[in-house]
Amino acid sequence: MPDPDLQDRAPSSSEGGARSRADAPARPALRRCVRVDPEVFADEHWSRRPLLSTAAELGGTFTDLLDLAAVDELLSTRGLRTPFLRIARDGAVVDPTRFTSPQGAGAEIGDQVSSDAVLRLFAEGSTVVLQGLHRLWPPLIAFANQLAADLGHPTQVNAYVTPPSSRGFSPHYDVHDVFVLQVAGEKHWTIHSPVLTDPLRTHPWTDRPDEVAAAAQRPPVIDTVLRPGDALYLPRGYIHSAVALGEISAHLTIGVHPVTRWGAVESALDLVRVLAAEDQTLRGSLPLGIDLADPATTTEDVAAVLSGLQRALAEVDPAAVADSLRSRAWAQVRPAPVSPLAQSAALTALDAGTVLRVRPLLRVQLREPVGGRVALVAGRRTHDLPADTHPALAALLATGELKVGDLPGLDAADQLTLARRLVTQSIAIVPDARPGGTAHHGGSDDRTGA
């Protein structure tokens, strides 16, 4: 029988039920996906246990993010190319040449999606998988970016569209956490406990297919039908499969790529490698004519290497490991997109009254000045700036938005110089800038112009 603790979908008094979006400003994207408060989710479910949430408990649907009409638009008129589309049938991936072709004059590239081929395959029972929608579809770009900010872990978005009474993939597990958001139709989900807890990317389910198949025969921990507006959270490793019921089913899978302790291990080993290369005793050559087939001939050398690595490991700075881990994670997270033409036009009109806003969802870290310079870490890049800009940068990051003329500690010329650099480097944006050159100056905001 299913685990009653996992199967029960009624909120307890500590969890709360459906909530108003206006009452939930903190972690807004996460709140759309789970029926419990974010703190409860963090303590009781994140990376530990699945969580099932109904549309009634969540208070809405997900059709603002994607609907079947949007899927048709992507497949028919958006010039979609592989690998942004996969098609699966009977648990196997269909050869892309069966649904791609050149698309006429001026569009001879051969890996473009053929909508008529997709129609034939879908009618035969194949599942359509739209990949990387966090890079393609504006509502999902914004949602995935916000969810990544809410969680502190990178996200990606795929959509799975399945014909009636069809199964897309056989029972399997993912090496990342997922939120399943049912968009249209109904799908019967079966969830089983992991055969490997917290699998890494180097632990794909295809390495242990017999264990996965055997686990899928055991009693499930969740056995349910997802309907539009329902959501399901699955930690990495949980085995799952799904079958569409009497109509077309579409769901979003939000993949969460967790930052793990193993990531810290990899960062530490990278630093050990750098430190060890500075140890002359570890750079020495082995004896001439050594017989590597005889382990006894390298015993002393291997022991010396291990001793040297232990010395290097002892020298690793935990702060450097943490910074490397941050760098790896931030490199995978995309901030809100900028409008290149509008921001470029705004640059030409910058003045003391222009409002600067920190780029939404940009991960930023301002460090203390050193030797007349200050480092501003923004996403995957580190910017080197004069130390006298530190008060202005700190004020802008603290408030999120300032007029150029209000940047503290700088004269008017330096305020404009810093502002231009921040906009050019996409650290800050000019709100409501337009390609024609109009920029927001604060005060009344006339948005009625054409």
Same domain, residue pair 149 and 32: yes
Question: Comparing C-alpha atoms, which of 411, 345, 426, 414 is closest to residue 379?
Answer: 426
Q: What pLDDT score was predicted for residue 89?
A: 86
* Contact (CB, 8 A) for 230 and 182: yes
Pair (169, 219) in one structural domain: yes
- Let me know if residue 23 belongs to a domain: yes
CATH number of the domain that residue 181 is part of: 2.60.120.650
How confident is the model at residue 438, as a pLDDT? 57
Angle value at C-alpha 174, between 168 and 180, nearest 5 degrees: 65
Q: Domain check: are 46 and 194 in the same one?
A: yes
> Does a structural domain hold residue 449?
no
Residue 120 lies in a domain: no
In this prediction, residue 15 carries a pLDDT of 34
From CA 337, how far away is CA 426, in angstroms rounded? Answer: 9
Structure confidence at residue 365 (pLDDT): 94
> What's the sign of the alpha-carbon dihedral 36, 38, 43, 46?
positive
Report CA-CA distances (Å) from 386 to 156, 392, 400: 36, 11, 21
Angle, vertex CA 220, rays to CA 215 and CA 221, nearest 5: 120
Domain shared by 308 and 385, yes or no: no
Q: What angle do CA 432, 436, 437 make, to 5 degrees?
A: 60
What's the structural domain count of the chain?
Answer: 3
129 and 245 within one domain: yes
With CA atoms as reference, report the closest residue to 140 among 158, 152, 127, 154. Answer: 158
Q: What is the CATH number of the domain that holds 368?
A: 3.90.930.40
For residue 58, which of 30, 81, 100, 39 has the smallest C-alpha distance?
30
Answer whether residue 444 is part of any domain: no
* 127 bridge partner residues: 88
Structural domain includes residue 92: no
- Asked which of 211, 234, 256 is the last residue of a domain, the reply is 256
For residue 224, the surrounding DSSP H or E stretch is: strand 222-226
Please report, as a single letter, which amino acid is at residue 256.
V
Domain boundary among 331, 349, 384: 331
Whether 79 is covered by a domain: the verdict is no
Q: Comparing C-alpha atoms, which of 308, 326, 311, 410 is closest to residue 365?
A: 326
CA distance 137 to 150: 20
Residues in Cβ contact with 44 at an 8 Å cutoff, skipping those fewer than 6 apart: 36
Among residues 243, 144, 118, 132, the alpha carbon closest in space to that of 185 is found at: 243
**Neighbour count for residue 141 (Cβ, 10 Å):** 17
Q: 142 with 233, same domain?
A: yes
Shared-domain flag, residues 313 and 233: no
Same domain membership, residue 356 and residue 313: no
Q: Is there a single domain that holds both residue 26 and residue 131? A: yes
3-state helix, strand, coil in the chain (%, to 5): 35, 20, 45
- Residues 185, 232 within the same domain: yes
214 lies in a domain? yes
| Last residue in a domain, options 302, 331, 360 | 331
- pTM for this structure? 0.82
Q: Are residues 297 and 319 in the same domain?
A: yes
Give per-10-residue mean pLDDT for the chain (450 aa): 40 34 68 96 97 96 97 94 90 89 84 94 93 95 94 95 81 96 96 96 95 96 97 98 91 96 95 95 92 92 95 95 91 89 95 96 94 94 96 97 97 97 97 76 44
Range of the domain at 271: 261-331
What is the predicted pLDDT for the residue at 12?
35
CA angle 259/261/266 to nearest 5° reads: 90
CB 183 within 8 A of CB 67: yes
Pair 415, 392: CB distance under 8 Å: yes
Question: Is residue 95 one of the residues assigned to a domain?
Answer: no
**Residue 370 has what pLDDT?**
96
Residue with structure tokens 């640059």?
347
Count the neighbouring beta carbons within 10 Å of the beta carbon of residue 171: 20
- Tell me: do 311 and 390 sit in the same domain: no
